[in-house]
Amino acid sequence: MPIYEYRCQACGNEFEKLILGSSGGDGVSCPSCGGSDVAKKLSVFAAATSSSSPPHSSPSSGCGACNESCPNRR
């Protein structure tokens, strides 16, 4: 269920909308003015990362993303 960013062509309001299922964003309206003339904005995917130390830097550190067979899992 992706979150899309939109801009209302009528009032200029920018907003986000969670799109459920396979509707693809049909019927999205501006929460500010109620207008249906909205344009989907291009957005950049963001991910938080930590560069302080690589995963598995010490045997007791465990990265949290390991599966059951990882020797570094706590």
pLDDT computed for residue 27 by the predictor: 87
Say which amino acid occupies 8: C
Tokens standing for residue 58: 């010490």
Sketch the domain layout of the chain as residue ranges.
Answer: 3-40
pLDDT computed for residue 71 by the predictor: 66
Q: State the sign of the Cα–Cα–Cα–Cα dihedral 22, 27, 30, 36.
A: positive
Please answer whether residues 37 and 6 qualify as being in contact, where contact means their C-beta atoms are separated by less than 8 angstroms.
Answer: no
46-69 pLDDT per residue, tens = 666 766 555 555 555 556 566 666
How far apart CA 74 and CA 65 sit, in angstroms, is 11
Name residue, tokens 């949290």: 64
1-54 pLDDT per residue, tens = 688 999 999 999 999 998 887 666 678 999 999 999 999 998 766 666 766 555
How far apart CA 51 and CA 4 sit, in angstroms, is 28
pLDDT computed for residue 12 by the predictor: 96
